[in-house]
């Protein structure tokens, strides 16, 4: 039990510390409850010795208090008028139970409340930490495991803190009360019983460590389950389209099975503890009977006192057992919170010391010999780039060339490995993330819409936007027509990921959001690449409205959309291989010209195919 207060547990209990005052109140109440419990035990001897044994009734002697080894004359405490033993015992029981019950109720609920509060704080802290992680965190941690940590792991810690903390305090106070009673009845008998204590404590400690480890891995399994659930609920359309229901059901079942196996490991360890401890009881009782028989024969002890002793012994055994259970619960909590604390220890995305606010963008953006790598392999090498205010810079290159990576460096989704990115001559690392990102809007291939109204999705991140501005943004994004056709117009709640809307509609809501944000720098990363021809046309128009007056970085598959860019950069192997205007690059006859030819050949090939789909099967298609 020495590691009962191991560092992770101390840390968990640290969340209880702010509620110290309430805790003290709860603890005092439980101490009162324990005292009441002890007082009830003191009534056992008079009940057996007097109430149930009227022959020995002496109107003057009411209580035989084992503590003192001699009769106590209640007349010392009560008025002379009370002579009836039964009345006194009954009244005392009533009062004692009332006090005991009330203080147990009040103490337990105070401590439980504090436990819940502490865990709420913990959960909020983890959420805050996770949301403030740099983007890389979200790529390296499975969403399911993260959800599971915030929900399931914290819930397990809550059980330990709120349920078992109160339990622990109750037992901690009860034990000394019982011990005192036992010692005063017969200290030799008590010490003899204490010899067996290590045999009780040993399995608790041994099994506790086992439980902690198993719980940790069973929480990981639970995370796997959450992961499957989240993927197959979110991506249910794909599951259906590929007829993978049975496959996913089997996968889930296997993961459940693993969770079950891992869970049973600690459950077994937990449930075996109590019976294991109980095995000692027959031994102890038999030995006690042997000893007590002699003591009673020699009149060192009365039968009621022996009954009190055995009763108290059982009562005293309970706190030890319960404390053992609490210990195991705490081990569970530690196992469960390992991941939670690991998240809490992560470094948040941070501004550098003395970071200033970025002044409104007015002149130029430069990439000065920028290199970047995610892990070991370099992704971008020696990128030099200059974008004047109002220019449109297009990035072209094969898939995986590093285009997305390059634009993500601008709002510092990732930090450059070497070189610097400057806005109006100011290194982006020297300004606050908030002020930097406020000046950049991004529209990407997959735009996230929240489970909220269309209105709130458009206003995301902005407070108190005038109505006209929102509708103007929706109009400019060519989104108002379809929004008004929705069942509740702007107040229609769109599903998670906006599943009730088509790709083009989602995109236009995202564009409306960017228009409303009205930041001077714009990044369009393949914003139209997943759309059909008609949606693309709409989105193109919406984007044209969005781009007006903004410095724009545009990445697009379809070269037609970037022909009018002020500067086109061709990215290959993480380096800028060509740069210039469309005309210049075509004239140069390099990679861009080749891509351009390929695409237009492609278009020629597709054009008749779209007109008459049957043609697709004709040998006209060279592939």
Ligand X SMILES: Nc1ncnc2c1ncn2[C@@H]1O[C@H](COP(=O)(O)OP(=O)(O)O)[C@@H](O)[C@H]1O
399 contributes a contact to ligand X by CB under 6 A: yes
Taking the least distance from each CB to ligand X, the nearer of 447 and 457 is 447
Residues that bind Mg ion (CB under 5 A): 404
Taking the least distance from each CB to ligand X, the nearer of 299 and 399 is 399
Identify whether the C-beta of residue 197 lies closer than 8 Å to the C-beta of residue 320. yes
Shortest distance (Å) from residue 139 CB to ligand X: 4
81 contributes a contact to ligand X by CB under 6 A: no
Shortest distance (Å) from residue 205 CB to Mg ion: 54
Which residue is associated with the tokens 């993330």?
433
Shortest distance (Å) from residue 593 CB to Mg ion: 22
Cα–Cα distance, 339 to 48 (Å, whole number): 55
Residue 507 contact partner, candidates Mg ion, ligand X, none, CB within 5 to 8 A by sort of partner:
none
Q: Which residue from 107, 319, 402, 503 is in contact with ligand X, where contact means CB under 6 A?
A: 402
Shortest distance (Å) from residue 6 CB to Mg ion: 46
Position closest to Mg ion via CB = 404
Which residue is associated with the tokens 């409205």?
545
Q: Which residue from 7, 400, 489, 608 is in contact with ligand X, where contact means CB under 6 A?
A: 400
- Pairing label, strands 567-572, 392-396: parallel
Two tokens, residue 227 = 């992961």
Shortest distance (Å) from residue 404 CB to Mg ion: 3
Cα–Cα distance, 339 to 321 (Å, whole number): 29
Q: Which residue from 92, 219, 227, 405 is in contact with ligand X, where contact means CB under 6 A?
A: 405
Q: Which residue from 397, 411, 498, 504 is in contact with ligand X, where contact means CB under 6 A?
A: 397
Residue 139 contact partner, candidates Mg ion, ligand X, none, CB within 5 to 8 A by sort of partner:
ligand X
Cα–Cα distance, 3 to 8 (Å, whole number): 10
If we measure between CA atoms, which residue out of 404, 405, 370 comes closest to residue 556?
Answer: 404
376 contributes a contact to ligand X by CB under 6 A: no
Shortest distance (Å) from residue 403 CB to Mg ion: 5
| b/e per residue 52-82 (b: at least 16 CB within 10 A) | eeeeebeeebbbbebeeeebbebeeeeeeee
Q: Which residue from 130, 310, 379, 433 is in contact with ligand X, where contact means CB under 6 A?
A: 379
Q: What is the DSSP string of 332-387?
A: HHHHHHHHHHHHHTSPPP-PPTT-BPPPPP-SEEEEEEEEEESSSSEEEEEEEEEE
Torsion sign (Cα): 437, 441, 444, 449: positive
Residue 324 contact partner, candidates Mg ion, ligand X, none, CB within 5 to 8 A by sort of partner:
none
Q: Which residue from 404, 441, 471, 561 is in contact with ligand X, where contact means CB under 6 A?
A: 404
By rule CB under 6 A, what string of x and - marks binding of each residue 94-133 to ligand X?
----------------------------------------
By rule CB under 6 A, what string of x and - marks binding of each residue 269-308 to ligand X?
----------------------------------------
Shortest distance (Å) from residue 407 CB to ligand X: 8
Q: Which stretch binds ligand X (CB under 6 A): 143-151, 192-200, 396-404, 484-492?
A: 396-404
Cα–Cα distance, 371 to 419 (Å, whole number): 6
Shortest distance (Å) from residue 575 CB to ligand X: 12
Taking the least distance from each CB to ligand X, the nearer of 319 and 574 is 574
Number of Cβ within a 10 Å radius of residue 557:
16
Identify whether the C-beta of residue 308 lies closer than 8 Å to the C-beta of residue 182. no
Taking the least distance from each CB to ligand X, the nearer of 171 and 528 is 528
If we measure between CA atoms, which residue out of 597, 590, 539, 599 comes closest to residue 568?
Answer: 590
Two tokens, residue 98 = 């009332």
Taking the least distance from each CB to Mg ion, the nearer of 170 and 412 is 412
444 contributes a contact to ligand X by CB under 6 A: no
| Residues touching ligand X, count (CB under 6 A) | 11
Identify whether the C-beta of residue 372 lies closer than 8 Å to the C-beta of residue 380. yes
If we measure between CA atoms, which residue out of 97, 86, 92, 96 comes closest to residue 52?
Answer: 86
Taking the least distance from each CB to Mg ion, the nearer of 404 and 528 is 404
What are φ and ψ of residue 87, in 5° steps? -60, -45
374 contributes a contact to ligand X by CB under 6 A: yes
Residue 146: strand, helix, or coil = helix
Shortest distance (Å) from residue 171 CB to Mg ion: 60
What are φ and ψ of residue 411, in 5° steps? -85, 15
Shortest distance (Å) from residue 574 CB to ligand X: 8
Torsion sign (Cα): 128, 131, 136, 138: positive
Q: Which residue from 123, 403, 508, 550 is in contact with ligand X, where contact means CB under 6 A?
A: 403
Taking the least distance from each CB to ligand X, the nearer of 105 and 374 is 374
Taking the least distance from each CB to ligand X, the nearer of 181 and 555 is 555
Residues binding ligand X (CB under 6 A) = 139, 374, 379, 397, 399-405
């Amino acid at each position: 039990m020495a590691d009962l207060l191991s560092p992770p547990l101390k840390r968990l209990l640290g969340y209880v510390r702010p509620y110290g005052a309430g805790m003290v109140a709860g603890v005092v109440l439980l101490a009162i409850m324990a005292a009441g419990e002890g007082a009830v035990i003191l009534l056992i001897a008079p009940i057996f010795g007097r109430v149930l044994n009227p022959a020995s009734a002496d109107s003057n002697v009411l209580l035989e208090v084992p503590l003192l080894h001699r009769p106590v004359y209640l007349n010392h405490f009560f008025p002379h008028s009370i002579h009836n033993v039964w009345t006194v015992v009954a009244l005392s029981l009533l009062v004692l139970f009332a006090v005991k019950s009330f203080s147990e109720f009040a103490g337990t609920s105070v401590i439980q409340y504090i436990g819940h509060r502490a865990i709420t704080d913990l959960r909020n802290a983890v959420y805050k930490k996770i949301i403030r992680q740099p983007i890389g965190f979200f790529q390296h941690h499975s969403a399911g495991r993260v959800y599971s940590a915030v929900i399931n792991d914290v819930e397990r810690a809550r059980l330990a803190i709120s349920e078992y903390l109160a339990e622990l305090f109750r037992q901690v106070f009860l034990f000394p009360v019982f011990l005192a009673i036992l010692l005063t009845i017969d200290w030799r008998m008590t010490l003899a019983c204490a010899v067996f204590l290590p045999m009780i404590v040993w399995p608790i400690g041994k099994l506790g460590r086992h439980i902690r480890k198993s719980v940790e891995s069973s929480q990981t399994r639970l995370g796997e389950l959450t992961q499957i659930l989240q993927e197959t609920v979110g991506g249910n359309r794909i599951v259906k389209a590929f007829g993978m229901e049975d496959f996913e059901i089997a996968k889930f079942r296997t993961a459940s099975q693993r969770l079950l196996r891992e869970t049973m490991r600690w459950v077994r360890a937990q449930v075996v503890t109590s019976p294991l401890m109980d095995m000692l009881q027959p031994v102890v009782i038999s030995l006690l009977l042997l000893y007590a028989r002699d003591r009673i024969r020699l009149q060192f002890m009365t039968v009621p006192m022996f009954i009190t002793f055995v009763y108290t012994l059982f009562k005293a055994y309970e706190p030890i057992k319960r404390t053992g259970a609490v210990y195991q619960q705490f081990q569970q909590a530690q196992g469960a919170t390992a991941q939670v604390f690991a998240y809490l220890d992560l470094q948040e995305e941070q501004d550098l010391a003395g970071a200033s606010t970025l002044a409104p963008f007015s002149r130029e953006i430069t990439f000065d010999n920028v290199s970047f790598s995610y892990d070991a392999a370099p992704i971008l090498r020696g990128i030099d780039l200059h974008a004047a205010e109002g220019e449109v810079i297009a990035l072209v290159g094969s898939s995986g060339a590093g285009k997305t990576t390059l634009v993500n460096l601008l709002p510092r989704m990732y930090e450059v490995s070497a070189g610097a990115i400057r806005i109006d001559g100011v290194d982006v690392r020297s300004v606050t993330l908030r002020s930097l990102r406020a000046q950049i809007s991004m529209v990407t291939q997959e735009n996230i819409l929240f489970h909220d109204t269309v209105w709130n999705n458009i206003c995301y991140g902005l407070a108190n936007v005038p109505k006209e501005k929102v509708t103007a943004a929706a109009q400019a994004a060519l989104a108002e027509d379809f929004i008004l056709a929705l069942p509740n117009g702007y107040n229609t709640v769109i599903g998670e990921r906006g599943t009730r809307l088509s790709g083009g509609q989602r995109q236009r809501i995202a564009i409306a959001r960017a228009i409303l944000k009205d930041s001077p720098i714009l990044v369009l990363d393949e914003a139209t690449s997943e759309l059909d021809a008609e949606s693309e046309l709409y989105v193109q128009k919406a984007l044209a409205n969005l781009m007006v007056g903004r410095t724009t970085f545009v990445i697009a598959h379809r070269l037609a959309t970037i022909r009018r860019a002020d500067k086109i950069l061709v990215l290959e192997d993480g380096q800028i291989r060509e740069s210039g205007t469309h005309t210049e690059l075509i004239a140069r006859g390099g990679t861009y010209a080749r891509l351009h030819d390929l695409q237009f050949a492609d278009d020629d090939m597709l054009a008749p195919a779209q007109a008459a789909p049957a043609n697709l099967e004709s040998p006209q298609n060279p592939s």
